[in-house]
């Protein structure tokens, strides 16, 4: 689904919610797969089909066709990465504020907010044993660094939190690599968020987590990580999936349990090339990794939320919130996370205003 198509769907849902006459909007309860729409609401929603069609046509084939995507292109090209505390974010916030003012929305304002600013610094991870290999890694947001110099430690590789717990104190003093299976983002992201906590509880000195993705070209993914009160803060970073797999294979061989794909020699002794590769090639050889991270946090910088309203009519005191974040990580332009969401939210207000549609509830 294109950005424009997605925007039209989002707008339709927003408008229906904003225009319902009842004081309560039906919502999806935890554990339910579908929204329980009351019969009275269903009848009312039916009346908005022509308006919904009008919105969709306006974005797919009318004056707004392609504008959301074009605006996103211009935005990320001009402002690039938008880390908290960066000049890119400051300029982007100003751009959004001025744009909303230019479209004559109500109550356009910037709300100051004090935030801790995380700085990445220089970073690297290198496999030292059983062979030399620069690892494709990226530090995780809010991670501590290695201020006393690089960490050089023996490394263990596990597939799950449960597997780490089963090792007992064997992780003490070691770097812990999580090479978890990618099931879905929602399930697998727990390793990125909580991996450093689990590793620290096991006595680990750092946590390296397989990037939370099922596609990679040696491209590690960053994102937020958590710490827990009372648990030592250790550095956390993500590895490209290819290198997480490499470390897992080497670790398994070093522990004397080769992966199933290598249970047999890769060539017969009678092969014409005379090549013989045995499972025992890496047997008994431990993994040693050196990790260096200059990550640190600067406290109490000020940024701004940008807020604008499309006032409702009969239920203007009720608010339907359309939200997205302007900031992004530093290793990309933040087009998907969350430039696209920002342009959809902005485009929703612009589109409805240009169509002359005012919902009962205020859109913010």
Q: Which residues pair with 157 in a beta bridge?
A: 177
- Enumerate the H helices of 202-336 as residue ranges: 241-254
135 and 208 fall within a common domain: yes
**How far is Cα 358 from Cα 112, in angstroms, rounded to an integer?**
29
- In degrees, rounded to 5, the angle at the alpha carbon of residue 191 between the alpha carbons of residues 342 and 299 is 60
The H or E element that residue 351 is part of is: helix 340-355
What phi and psi, each to the nearest 5 degrees, are found at residue 45?
A: -60, -40
Per-residue pLDDT at 7: 55
Together in a domain, 11 and 147: no
What pLDDT, on the 0 to 100 scale, is given for residue 174? 98
Rounded to whole angstroms, how far apart are CA atoms 90 and 71?
Answer: 18
Q: Are residues 179 and 199 in the same domain?
A: yes
pTM: 0.79
Show Cβ contacts of residue 358 under 8 Å, excluding neighbours closer than 6 positions: 310, 311, 312, 313, 352
pLDDT of residue 278: 41
Task: List the beta strands (DSSP E) in the chain.
Answer: 106-119, 123-129, 133-135, 137-139, 151-158, 175-178, 206-210, 236-239, 287-293, 296-309, 315-320, 361-363
344 and 288, same domain (yes or no): no
Token code pair at residue 337: 């996370």
Domain that includes residue 355, residue range: 3-23+36-113+304-363
Mean pLDDT per 10-residue segment, the chain (364 residues): 56 58 52 64 85 92 91 95 93 96 94 93 97 97 96 98 96 98 94 98 98 93 96 98 97 65 39 41 76 93 94 93 93 93 91 91 92
Q: Which tokens hold the place of 98? A: 């001025």
Instruction: Measure the CA–CA gap between 289 and 128, rounded to whole angstroms.
Output: 6
Residue 299 counted as domain residue: no
Q: Positive or negative, the Cα torsion across 137, 138, 139, 140?
A: negative
Number of domains within the chain:
2
Q: Are residues 316 and 346 in the same domain?
A: yes
Structure confidence at residue 9 (pLDDT): 57
CA angle, residues 204, 205, 208, in degrees to nearest 5: 85
Tokens of 314: 């009969």
Calpha distance 171→157 (Å, rounded): 10
Is 142 within the bounds of a domain? yes
Residue 267 lies in a domain: no
> Around 25, how many Cα atoms within 13 Å sit in the side-chain half-sphere?
18
Report whether 20 contacts 41 (CB < 8 A): yes
Query: Contact 128/152 with Cβ under 8 angstroms?
Result: yes
Judgement on whether residues 314 and 245 belong to the same structural domain of the protein: no
d(CA 143, CA 230) in angstroms, rounded, equals 16
pLDDT of residue 8: 55
282, 159: one domain: yes
**Residue 272 included in any domain:** no
Same domain, yes or no: 287 and 143: yes
pLDDT score of 10: 59
Kindly provide the residue ranges of all beta strands, DSSP E only, lying in 61-172, ordered along the sequence: 106-119, 123-129, 133-135, 137-139, 151-158
Is 269 domain-assigned?
no
Domain with residue 161: its CATH number is 3.50.30.30
Query: For position 78, which CATH number holds?
Result: 3.40.630.10
Positive or negative, the Cα torsion across 276, 280, 284, 285?
Answer: positive
Are residue 231 and residue 98 in the same domain, yes or no?
A: no
**Look-up: residue for tokens 């590895």?**
239
pLDDT at position 40: 77
Token couple for 30:
């935890």
- Domain membership of residue 353 (yes or no) is yes
Statement to judge: residues 69 and 43 lie in one domain: yes
pLDDT (0 to 100) of residue 273: 41
């Amino acid at each position: 689904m294109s950005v424009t198509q997605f925007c039209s769907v989002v707008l339709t849902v927003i408008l229906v919610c904003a225009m319902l006459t009842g004081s309560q909007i039906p919502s999806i309860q935890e554990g339910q797969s579908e929204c329980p729409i009351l019969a009275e609401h269903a009848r009312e929603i039916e009346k908005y089909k022509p308006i919904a069609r009008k919105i969709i046509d306006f974005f797919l084939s009318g004056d707004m066709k392609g504008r959301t995507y074009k605006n996103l292109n211009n935005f990320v090209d001009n402002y690039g990465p938008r880390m908290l505390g960066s000049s890119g974010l400051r300029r982007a916030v100003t751009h959004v504020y001025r744009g909303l003012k230019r479209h004559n929305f109500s109550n356009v304002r910037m709300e100051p907010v004090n935030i801790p600013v995380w700085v990445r610094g220089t970073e690297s991870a290198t496999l030292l044993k059983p062979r030399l290999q620069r690892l494709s890694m990226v530090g995780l947001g809010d991670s501590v660094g290695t201020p006393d110099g690089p960490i050089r430690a023996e490394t263990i590789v596990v597939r799950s939190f449960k597997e780490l717990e089963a090792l007992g104190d064997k992780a003490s003093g070691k770097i812990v690599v999580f090479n978890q299976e990618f099931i879905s983002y929602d399930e697998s992201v727990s390793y990125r968020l909580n991996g450093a906590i689990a590793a620290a509880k096991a006595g680990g000195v750092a946590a390296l987590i397989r990037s939370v993705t099922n596609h990679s070209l040696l491209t590690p993914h960053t994102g937020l990580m958590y710490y827990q009160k009372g648990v030592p803060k250790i550095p956390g970073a993500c590895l490209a999936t290819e290198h997480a797999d490499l470390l897992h294979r080497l670790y398994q061989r070093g522990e004397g349990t080769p992966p199933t794909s290598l249970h047999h020699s890769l060539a017969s002794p009678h092969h014409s090339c005379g090549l013989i590769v045995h499972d025992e090639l890496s047997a008994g050889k431990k993994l040693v990794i050196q990790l260096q991270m200059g990550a640190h946090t600067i406290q109490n910088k000020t940024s701004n939320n940008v807020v604008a309203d499309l006032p409702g009519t009969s239920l203007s005191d009720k608010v339907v919130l359309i939200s997205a974040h302007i900031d992004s990580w530093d290793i990309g332009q933040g087009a998907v996370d969350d430039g696209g969401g920002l342009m959809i939210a902005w485009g929703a207000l612009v589109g409805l205003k240009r169509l002359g549609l005012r919902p009962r509830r205020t859109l913010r």
